[in-house]
Structure 1
Amino acid sequence: EPDTPTTAKKKLLTKPLEEVTQKSKFPTNPPKQKQELLGLSGVTVDKFWEIILVEGRRKEEEGRRDFSDIEARRKKEEGRRDFSESLREGRRKKEEGRGDFSDIEGRSKKEEGKRDFSESLIEVRRDDSKPSISILTPTWNSSLDWFVETVLSVLNQSISNWEWCIVDDGSKQPEIRNVLAGLAEKEPRIKVLLSEDNGGISAATNKALNMATGEYICLLDHDDTLAPTALEDSLNKLAEGFDVVYSDEDKIDFSGLNYIVPFFKPDWSPEYFCGVMYVGHLLCVRRELALTAGGFKSEFDGVQDYEFMLRVSEQTNKIAHISRHLYHWRQVKGSISGDADAKAGIEVVQQAAVNSHLQRIGLAAKAEPGLGKQRINIYPMFT
C-alpha cells in the first residue's frame, strides 16, 4: 500500500532518534586508537602524539593531496584538450586565411601565466609562518576523552595558519597536564602554560590572550569542538573588513553522538544584545581590539564572554554574523549549557554587566530581569 502524507509522517515520527539526527564523529564504542589515547599516562605521552597528531595529520594531508592531485590532473588534462582543440582550430583557420594562430597561442600562454601567478600566491598564503588566528582555550580538570575530540577538531581545520594558546588553570589531574606538555613539545603551533594555582576562567583566558600573536583571536572551550572550516570561514568574513565575527552554534548531547538544539542567531543588533546573550560561540575578534577593550573580567565569571563582548561593541560597529554552525557546544551535567540549575545567579551577573555597559555609553537606562531565561529588559530612567 503506497504511503499517504499521513502514514509517511507517522513513519518518520516513529523512527529511532539516531536515524533522524546528525551523528558526531565518534561512535559510542571508541575505536582502538581512541581507547589507547584514553589510557595514556605521562610516560606514554609520545604515543599520544604519534597516534593523534602525526598519524591523523598524515592521513589528512594524504587525503588532501590525493584529492588535489586528482583535481589538478583533471583540470590539466581539460586545459590540454582545450588548448589542443584551439590549436587545431587555429591551424584550420590559418590555412583558410580566416584566423591567426599566434593570437590563440599568445592568449593561451597569457592565461597560463595568470594561473601560475595565482597558484604561487595561494601557496605563499598557505605557507605563511605568521598565524592569522590564535585560538584561546583555558583548561581545568578536563576530561581526556572529550579533550581528545577538541584536539582533533583543531588539527583537522581546513587551514593551517593558526596557533593554539592553552592555559591549564591549576588542574589536579596529572594526565591532562602531561598531554598538554606533550602537545606543546611536538607541535610548534600549540603553546601551553601550566599554572600552579586556579585563578578562574577569566584569568586563564587573559593569560592565553597575552600569549597570542595572531591578528585575530577566537575562543574555544576545552570540551567543545569546531566545525572543520570554522577558522577558514571566520577569516574569510573578517577579510571583508570586519573587526568581529560570530557564528551559529549547536550542542553535542550527553551521549556524544548527536548535534542537537541548533541555534540560528540574528545579525548584529547592539540593542537586542543588551537584553539577550546571543553572540556566544564561535566568536572571533581582532586581537588588538580585544586588548584595547581590556580582556576578560573575573568579577563577571559565568558571563565573562558576554561582558567582554559588550565592551568590545563599545569600540567598534564592524561586527558580522556567519550564518553557519561552526561551533559544537558540549552538554555537560552541571555546566551552564546543560543544566538549568547551574544557571541560577547567572541572570544577576548578566544584569550587572548590562548596567555597567549602559553607564559607560552614557545611556540613562537600567537593566532588570525579563521573562524567560537570560533575558533582560531595558527601561529608561527619568529624572
Structure 2
Amino acid sequence: MKTKLVSILIPTYQRPLTLSRAIDSVLNQTYTNIEVIVVDDNNPNTDERLETEGVMLGYKKNSKVKYIKHEYNKNGSAARNTAFQNSKGEYIMLLDDDDEFLPSKVEAQVNRLEKLDSSWGACYTKYKRLKNGKIDTVCAEKKEGNLYFDELCRNLFIQAGSNLMLRREVFNELGGFDESFQRNQDIEFTVRLLKKYKLAYVDEMGLIYHRHSTKRFFNMDKITNHYLSTFKLQIDELSEVEKVKFYKIINLQLFRYKVLTIRDFKAGYSMVKNEDVSLIDIFKYFTHLGYRRMFKKSYGFNL
C-alpha cells in the first residue's frame, strides 16, 4: 500500500543555530514519505541570511528538502503560506525552526487521521517543553472533538505552531495563515480551523518545544485588541453565557501578563477596580497556574 506524502512546513528567521536540529528531526522520522519545505524569512545580505544559507548547503543534495528564500522579511505567517504553496503533500504539518519532532510523530498522526472521516480536520500529539535543556512542562491536554470555544478563548494548550497535522484540503480551504498577525498566529489559524472541523488527540509524545529565556515584552493590550477585532463576528455569535466566560478568560490572561510578566501592578489594580476581573476569578486562575507550575503540566483553565 502506497503511503501518503506528508509536507512539513518550517519557517525560519534569525535561528540558524537551531534550524538543522529541526530539519534533522523530520528526516529521522519512522515515516519516510515526507518532504521538508524551509522558507527563509531573513532579510537578504544579513548575517542571519548568510548563516542560514550555510546551514542549508548541507541539505542541497537531499531531494526531500526544499529551500526557498523570501526577497525580504515578511513574517512567520507569510513564510508558512509560502511553504504551503510550494508543497505537494496530502497531509500538512507545521514546525517552528527551534522545535523538534520525536521519531514516531509523523507516523502516529498519519495513522490517526487515516482512521477518521473528513469531519476531523487535524490532530495533535503530546509534547514536552524544555528550558535550558531541562523539562519545564509536559502537555496534559487530551481533549478532542469540537474544541472551537476552547481555542477562541486562547485556552487550548497544544502548541499548534509545531504540533498540528492537517489534511491538505483543510489548509487550502482555510486560505492559510492571516499575515496581519504578528503574534498569536497559530491561535488565529487554529480558531478558524476548529470553527469548521473537529480536532483529534494522538496519545503519543511527539514534540519537543524549546522555551527560550527572553526579556522581550509585547504590547499585550494591542495584540489582544487586534485578536478581538479580528474575531468580533465569531464572538458576537456566542451565547450570553459563553460571552461572559470568554471575556473573563481573556481578561484573566491580560491580568496575568500585567502582574506576573511585566510587573505592572498598577495596571493590574486598575483591572480589578474597573471590574474587568474579579478577586474570586483571580484566585481560581492563579491557583490553576500554581498547580500547573508545581506539577509541570500544561492544560487549559476550567473557569
Above 0.5 in TM-score? yes
Aligned to 1:236: 111
Q: Does 1:209 align with 2:72?
A: no
2:151 to 273, 278, 287: 273
Give distance in 1, aligned partners of 2:166 and 2:255: 23
What secondary structure is seen at the aligned counterpart in 2 of 1:309? helix
Change (3 A) 1:325 1:353: farther
What secondary structure is seen at the aligned counterpart in 1 of 2:166? strand
1:158 to 20, 26, 30: 30
Correspondences of 1:1-383 after superposition (within 5 Å): 121=1, 125=2, 132-144=5-17, 146-171=18-43, 172=46, 173=48, 174-183=50-59, 185-241=60-116, 242-254=120-132, 257-268=133-144, 269-275=147-153, 276-281=155-160, 282-317=163-198, 319-334=199-214, 341-342=217-218, 344-345=220-221, 346-358=223-235, 362-363=237-238, 366=243, 367-368=246-247, 369-372=250-253
State the AA in 1 paired with 2:234: H
How many residue pairs get aligned? The number is: 238
Give distance in 1, aligned partners of 2:109 and 2:72: 33
Give distance in 2, aligned partners of 1:347 and 1:340: 17
Give distance in 2, aligned partners of 1:340 and 1:328: 22
Give distance in 1, aligned partners of 2:157 and 2:232: 17
Give distance in 1, aligned partners of 2:91 and 2:171: 9
TM-score for the superposition, normalised by structure 2: 0.70
Give distance in 1, aligned partners of 2:233 and 2:54: 41
Structure 1 position 308, deviation (Å): 0.8
Change (3 A) 1:272 1:175: closer
Give distance in 1, aligned partners of 2:92 and 2:167: 6
Aligned residues of 1:289 and 1:315 also touching (Cα < 8 A): no
Give distance in 2, aligned partners of 1:374 and 1:157: 41
Give distance in 1, aligned partners of 2:65 and 2:197: 30
State the AA in 1 paired with 2:150: Y
Give distance in 1, aligned partners of 2:71 and 2:61: 22
**CA deviation string 1:107-138 (max 9, x = no partner):** xxxxxxxxxxxxxx5xxx4xx5xx52110111
Q: Give unpaired runs (5+ residues) of structure 1.
A: 1-120, 378-383
Give distance in 1, aligned partners of 2:218 and 2:98: 17
Structure 1 position 140, deviation (Å): 1.0
Give distance in 2, aligned partners of 1:192 and 1:223: 17
**CA deviation string 1:161-190 (max 9, x = no partner):** 11111110124220212322542x211111
Change (3 A) 1:370 1:286: same
What secondary structure is seen at the aligned counterpart in 2 of 1:158? coil
Q: Which has the higher contact order (CA 8 A, sep 6+)?
A: 2
Aligned residues of 2:108 and 2:204 also touching (Cα < 8 A): no
Structure 1 position 193, deviation (Å): 0.6
Structure 1 position 343, deviation (Å): 7.7
**CA deviation string 1:264-320 (max 9, x = no partner):** 113132222222142323111111111111110122221111111111122323x20
Structure 1 position 325, deviation (Å): 2.6
What secondary structure is seen at the aligned counterpart in 2 of 1:314? helix
Change (3 A) 1:217 1:267: same
**CA deviation string 1:238-283 (max 9, x = no partner):** 11113210122221212xx223211211313222222214232311
TM-score for the superposition, normalised by structure 1: 0.57
